[in-house]
Each structure stands twice: as C-alpha cells, then as structure tokens.
Structure 1
C-alpha cells in the first residue's frame, strides 16, 4: 500500500483543492490498481477542516499538538501500521500533480525530494521579490531543496532514519539529513510536481511562508 500523509492546521480554504488533487493522484492508471490511502492529520483545528475532510474517502486523525513534526510522525506511524510500503508527504495548502505518486515511485530510490511551483503570488510579494525567488530557486533535477509538501520515502528507509521528529519546523530537513546519514539513495528531482500557495500567513514558523515573507521584506 502507498500512503499519502498530509498534516493540516485550520486549512478550510484550501483543503478541498488539496484533497481532490490527492485523490486524482491516488487513482492514476500507472499505479496499476495498487491501494493508496490518504491520511489527513488534523492538528489543533478550530475551523471547518474536519468537516471538509469528512466528505472525502480519506482517513482522518485528530491531534492537539500544534507541532507539524509530531503531526507527520504520528501520521507516518499510522500509515506504517496499516501496511504502507511508501509514504508520500504533502501539505494542506498544496496540490499534487495527477502523476505525483507515479513520478516519485518511478525514480526507483529510497527517498525523493521534489520541487514546488508557486501559484498566484500574494499581492505583498512584489515583482522584485519574485525575481529574487526565481533567481535562487532551482526548479530542475539535481536541486537541493527540501519540502515537506513534496517528499516521498520508502517505509524501510524511513524506519532506518528514525522517522520524523517532533520539531515545530524543519522536520523535513532533519529527516532528509538522517536519510543521508543512513546511506539512503535520494533523488533530488523536478519530476514529481506540486503547486503550493504563496500565502504569507504560514502555519509553521520558519517554513516556506516565512521564507517568502523574508523575500518580500528584503531590499
């Protein structure tokens, strides 16, 4: 079984699009009918996120941690217990491509670090900041970006690396560094595509939204 893991904290505005995209990826013909389970970890949600998730054929788990690392760790453990051989991670404000799972699995490695495409730049991120972003961001194979919104790991490699840690941010970076230390084969690929929001009200301090905010504030 393939598991899709998506943590969510008050994401009612973006969850529908996120879940529809994940379900399309889960039924791609090139998966040859392999079972895919989508797990949404609802962390300290006070909005309509749980209600929205209940409308879809996905699994849901509610916690009260306000910690994305712990949310991912708990979710990954649940998927492993259910028999996942591969865990694909994304975020609730992002949309995975229809062939996202196929692209990750087709690389034949222990872990895949994919790229992000920003959609609908926020009004407060001016053209100069967008230029700075594109100048520094490597949207190509061989990049060295690490995003929890586009990360795939085999179950065996995940266990060897010790799994996600209960970090408030950079839990994805920590896991990839542990994967490197454990000798896992890692593809830094542009093939698995994920579109994400350019919002500045980031849910995790130090995450992608904070990075965009820093760009917008730079001279």
Structure 2
C-alpha cells in the first residue's frame, strides 16, 4: 500500500516544522510493506512556511486559492496521480502521535473500511477558561463510534475519494461535506479514537468557521454559565 499524507498550509511558519517532524516519526513506524510520503500544499503563503518545508525535505505544491477545500483536493489528486491508494489528512498546526499511521493500518486489517474519522486532543488550555475546558470535555465524545469530523484527522481510500467527487471547493466544512457524501454512497466509515492528533487551540485559526472558531464561541458562551 502506498500512503500519502496531505497537509494544507497557509502561513504556518510557527507550527509546520513540528507537524512535519511528527509525521515523519509516524511514517518510520510502518512495516516495510507500506510506503508513505508527505505532500504539503502551500496556499498563498507570505511567511517562511515554504523555506521550512524545503528544509524538511518533503514534497510540496504552491497555489493561490485561499480555499481549504480546493487546497486539500489538489493535494489529494496529485498524490493519487502519483500512486497513493490511501490518503491521510492532517493540518499544519497539528502534530500526530507515533502510532497515527499504524493505528490506521490496523483498522484496515481488522475490517473493511473506506474512511477513518479520528479524534483530536487540544494542545493547550492555558489561554482559555476552565469553564471552556469543562464544557469541551462534556461535549466531546472521545470514544470509538464517536460522531466528530476533523479535517486534521481524516483518512480514506483513493477509489472512494474519486468516486464521491473529492473535497468540494469550500472555504470551510469541506471535511463534513466529504464525509456526508461517503455516507450517501454507503462507504464504510470507521469512527475511531485510536487514531488521534494533537491540534492547536489557537483562536485565530486559518479557517473562519473551523476548530478555532468553535473554541472561541465556546469561550464566549461559557462566560454566561455557572459551573459551580
């Protein structure tokens, strides 16, 4: 099996080195029967992201879409055209654990699956209130069979991706849209908390309605909630 890890990036100079280092370590854990490579898709970057990616020695594409769905799609299709039959998505502000890819392959060995929706852990709560942390923990289903969708932790087969039309060219919620189309076509989806990533808790996220926006709204809401 040939695996490609596709990472969109827009001005991620502060975080992408750690992201790439963690993915490289996860790749090293795979058995020799698997091959894996990283592809970063740099979208309208004006900082040092490109220089850092070049220094890391990974493959990259440059584009100017300012649209995360289109950026993910061009990266996935490029990887498929170069032989990838399993695609793993994460984000440039996230890091993956050592067994991130191994756990995905174990799921594939255990049962037929066309997509794996993983979970995320928040990297830092220090700038958020304890009420927000409690509300998040109460909301989040960190278990097998959860119902969360994260572009930072989504993987799937190339055949199913092409059959569903791939990521829509949307500026947000492209991950939810793709999962819904997998459901509509009755592809097998594994909802796993064994496959997880550590993601940024920054509130100034690149996607306007992404995870950072969710945390920011939760922070605002919890100011009006008494947790005593």
- TM-score (norm. length: structure 1): 0.97
Alignment of 1:68-217 (within 5 A): 68-108=68-108, 109-123=113-127, 125-217=128-220
Measure, in 2, the Cα distance between the counterparts of 1:26 and 1:51.
22
Q: Specify every segment of 5 or more residues in structure 2 that has no aligned partner in the other structure, as ranges.
A: none
Measure, in 2, the Cα distance between the counterparts of 1:155 and 1:193.
21
CA RMSD of aligned residues (A): 0.9
| Contact 1:41-1:60 at 8 Å conserved across structures | yes
Displacement after TM superposition at 1:159 (Å)? 1.1
Alignment of 1:16-55 (within 5 A): 16-28=17-29, 30-55=30-55
| Contact 2:17-2:56 at 8 Å conserved across structures | no
Give 1 or 2 for the bigger CA radius of gyration.
Answer: 2
- TM-score (norm. length: structure 2): 0.93
The one-character-per-residue Cα deviations of 1:150-195 (angstroms, maximum 9, x if unpaired) are 0000111111111001000000000000001111100000011200
Measure, in 1, the Cα distance between the counterparts of 2:160 and 2:107.
15
Q: Specify every segment of 5 or more residues in structure 1 that has no aligned partner in the other structure, as ranges.
A: none
Q: Tell whether 2:10 aligns with 1:6.
A: no
Q: SS state of the match for residue 119, structure 2?
A: coil
Q: SS state of the match for residue 191, structure 1?
A: strand
Measure, in 2, the Cα distance between the counterparts of 1:147 and 1:8.
16
The one-character-per-residue Cα deviations of 1:17-47 (angstroms, maximum 9, x if unpaired) are 000001111111x432522110000001000
Aligned length: 217
Displacement after TM superposition at 1:98 (Å)? 1.2
The one-character-per-residue Cα deviations of 1:107-151 (angstroms, maximum 9, x if unpaired) are 12110000000011251x200011000000011111000000000
Runs of 4+ in 1 over 4 A off after TM superposition: none
| Contact 1:96-1:195 at 8 Å conserved across structures | yes
